[in-house]
Copies of this chain bind each other. A is one copy, B any other.
């Protein structure tokens, strides 16, 4: 088979499986998920053997220790995958929710009802635990999934998917065998081939670095839901409770700097800059944060000293700094004159992910919440809350900064579409 033929077969099988998935009840799906969870644990040895082979190859290929760490499936990670599937089983069925209902003057009853999307392609990098999470969420929402993980994790991913499929078939003979498929080819060219098959594939969700996501968005003919990066802001307004602002800024930057909802840029309102900025910078300097500062804050911060009496780590911000996601102990700092400048900065340089204002002034807060064009906006809370778990979605398959389809954290409901059902008694159009 050529690559194109192989991808077409995969996609066609997925479409057929998606038709079968639509017929399963919530209970049947949960039975399968529980069996899948058990299988990951009972077949941990088989999975870890495959993972060991992946690790050997990766080591020989000279992958970094960080990459090897991400790839490794120890007992803790296998248990976490199983626990994840059990948690998904416990969530309500996202399919069949009545989203709207109306009776027309002619008596026609219209119902807008949530449905699966159909066939979803998920493209991700090295962590094999994504395989179980993504497959579990897609299955629960009635979608067939085609998974394309990192090539270094292929054997691990195949072992996980096989364990899940076998377990489901054992408890539910009508489980569609192609509900969870992995792209068995590692060539880069497999992705554009797959994502040209608009007749079979309904959605693609790339997860990973900006380069991967841009490449996928560039080549895809099917809809893509994604976020490129998280350049998140906290704006400390002139009427902020400065103690609260300090807590939020420290949390947004330091609690977990490597994630997409961590703050990358601190905007400080001019009238409070002289008071607030040196003091918050000293606190951030305790974690050795490197500052990229605009001219005004550079002047203020160059006089500041850290707890050891040393100058802060300071660099002048460049035009590029403002749109950089550091994912690290680094922070852009800028003094702005009021909420309008803050909003303009965020809409211009931000990534439309998560942005916060700290203020006691309700009018300015409302203006910020309304005008900042981001998936999640916060008033007096940390940007770090943009997360399916924190939003009470129970599980998360990713975060979207797009505006067509889901926006913000994506849980089970965000993996559904809808249809209109019209129930009549012979109505015709006149």
Smallest Cβ-Cβ distance to A429: which chain B residue: B384
Contacts A248-B426, A379-B424, A427-B385; is A23 near B223 (CB within 8 Å)?
no
Binary contact readout A231-242 vs B (1 if CB under 8 angstroms, 0 otherwise): 000000000010
CB of A383, distance to nearest CB on chain B (Å): 9
| A191-226 CB contacts (< 8 Å) to partner B | 198, 202-203, 217-218, 221, 223, 225
Instruction: Check: A57 CB closer than 8 A to any chain B CB.
Output: no
Choose the segment among A102-110, A289-297, A328-336 that binds chain B (4+ C-beta atoms closer than 8 Å).
A102-110
Q: Are A407 and B403 in contact, CB atoms less than 8 angstroms apart?
A: no
Contacts A22-B373, A102-B392, A104-B390; is A407 near B419 (CB within 8 Å)?
yes
CB of A223, distance to nearest CB on chain B (Å): 4
Q: Which residues from B are CB-within-8-Å of A19?
A: 347, 371, 373
Q: Are B377 and A421 in contact, CB atoms less than 8 angstroms apart?
A: yes
Instruction: Check: A299 CB closer than 8 A to any chain B CB.
Output: no
| A414-430 CB contacts (< 8 Å) to partner B | 417-430
Instruction: Check: A374 CB closer than 8 A to any chain B CB.
Output: yes
Binary contact readout A76-101 vs B (1 if CB under 8 angstroms, 0 otherwise): 00000000000000000000000000
Q: Are B429 and A255 in contact, CB atoms less than 8 angstroms apart?
A: yes
Instruction: Check: A382 CB closer than 8 A to any chain B CB.
Output: yes
Contacts A104-B390, A392-B104; is A419 near B22 (CB within 8 Å)?
no
Instruction: Check: A167 CB closer than 8 A to any chain B CB.
Output: no
Which bracket fits the contact residues of A? Answer: 35 or more
Q: Which residues from B are CB-within-8-Å of A247?
A: 426, 428
Q: Are B428 and A255 in contact, CB atoms less than 8 angstroms apart?
A: yes
Instruction: Check: A267 CB closer than 8 A to any chain B CB.
Output: no
Instruction: Check: A398 CB closer than 8 A to any chain B CB.
Output: no
Q: Which residues from B are CB-within-8-Å of A324?
A: none
Contacts A380-B424, A381-B424, A422-B381; is A390 near B22 (CB within 8 Å)?
no
Instruction: Check: A350 CB closer than 8 A to any chain B CB.
Output: no
Given contact pairs A19-B373, A223-B223, enumerate 8 new A-B contacts (beta carbons under 8 Å).
A22-B373, A108-B381, A248-B428, A255-B428, A377-B421, A384-B428, A405-B405, A408-B420
Q: Which 5 residue pairs spanning A and B have beta carbons closest together?
A: A381-B424, A251-B428, A384-B429, A403-B417, A223-B404
